[in-house]
């Protein structure tokens, strides 16, 4: 595996970078470089900046082992403060206008940092974060966990997007032909557009069938 591909991003200790995932990536990167264990500590500062670099300078000594530094790093940057902040953010998390995928990413990230893994508890947080209409749809499906709850929202989102696309296609252009001649040619008037029909998701197929039948009837009239 290419070591460049695995090279970890700069860790500052100030943003939302997960320190547990970062340290795992750093170890994997170093192992692909075939460095000695002592180099794990020696070159770590090349990937640290700001708060994290200050921690490194204050903590590392010539006798520091990698296991000691790793343990200290995780204690320093995976703190109860981060856990509490994430828990607080989770309490006020709202889906709002976020897509299901965007909401899922935020929710899972906060739950992990808040160290919440109980399925029932995570489901309650999802139900609390969504609108009343979305909550009813989820409860109607009798979800077993937060994943099945989000699956309901994902399916509903897909249907909404499909209905919007079909609704857009129902804007049918109508060209009226002026019966008067202009230089011996018929003159087409300015294009007009029919007002769009309002299509509900459950009526999509019925609407399409009706339009097809009308089209077939028109074709028969033309032939006759």
| 219-224 own/partner pairs: CB under 8 Å, 24+ apart | none
User: Does the pLDDT at position 109 exceed 70?
Assistant: yes
Distance CA 26, CA 49 (A): 15
Q: What is the mean pLDDT of residues 109-113?
A: 91
Query: Is 177 in a helix, a strand, or coil?
Result: strand
Q: How do the domains of the chain map onto residue ranges? A: 3-78, 81-168, 170-176+190-224
Distance CA 172, CA 101 (A): 33
Q: How confident is the model at residue 79 (pLDDT cuts 50, 70, 90)?
A: confident
Distance CA 28, CA 3 (A): 9
Beta pairing class for 192-193 and 185-188: unpaired
**Which of 20-24, 87-91, 215-219 is modeled with the greatest confidence?**
20-24
Alpha-carbon dihedral 200, 206, 208, 211, rounded to 10 degrees: -120
Tell me which residue of 18, 141, 119 sits closest to 74, measured CA to CA. Answer: 18
Residues 6+ apart with CB under 8 A from 208: 166
User: Does the pLDDT at position 46 exceed 50?
Assistant: yes
Query: Is 33 in a helix, a strand, or coil?
Result: coil
Tell me what the pLDDT averaged over the chain comes to: 81
User: Does the pLDDT at position 99 exceed 50?
Assistant: yes
- 192 Cα distance to chain centroid: 39
pLDDT tens, position by position, 178-221: 545 545 554 544 444 454 444 454 555 566 566 656 655 554 55
Beta bridge partners of 188: 177
pLDDT tens, position by position, 148-185: 999 999 999 999 888 888 766 655 555 454 545 545 55
Question: Residue 169 has which token pair?
Answer: 């296609």
Question: Residue 160 has which token pair?
Answer: 């909404």
The dihedrals phi and psi of 147, each to the nearest 5 degrees, come to: -65, -45
Q: What is the pTM of this model?
A: 0.50
pLDDT tens, position by position, 57-70: 989 988 889 999 99
């Amino acid at each position: 595996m290419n070591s460049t591909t695995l090279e970890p991003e700069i860790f500052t200790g100030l943003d939302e970078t997960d320190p547990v995932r970062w340290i795992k990536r750093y170890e994997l990167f170093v192992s692909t470089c075939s460095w000695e264990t002592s180099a794990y500590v020696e070159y770590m500062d090349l990937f640290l900046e700001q708060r994290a670099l200050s921690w490194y300078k204050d903590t590392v000594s010539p006798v520091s082992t990698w296991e000691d530094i790793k343990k200290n790093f995780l204690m320093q940057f995976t703190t109860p403060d981060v856990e509490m902040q994430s828990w607080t953010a989770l309490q006020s998390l709202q889906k709002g206008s976020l897509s299901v995928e965007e909401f899922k990413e935020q929710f899972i990230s906060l739950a992990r940092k808040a160290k919440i893994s109980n399925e029932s508890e995570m489901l309650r947080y999802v139900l609390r974060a969504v609108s009343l209409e979305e909550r009813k749809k989820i409860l109607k499906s009798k979800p077993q966990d937060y994943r099945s709850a989000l699956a309901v929202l994902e399916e509903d989102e897909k249907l909404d997007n499909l209905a919007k696309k079909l609704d857009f296609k129902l804007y049918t252009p109508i060209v009226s032909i002026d019966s008067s001649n202009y230089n011996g040619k018929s003159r087409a008037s300015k294009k007009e557009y029919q007002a769009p029909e309002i299509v509900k998701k459950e009526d999509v197929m019925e609407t399409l069938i009706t339009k097809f039948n009308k089209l077939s009837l028109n074709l028969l009239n033309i032939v006759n």
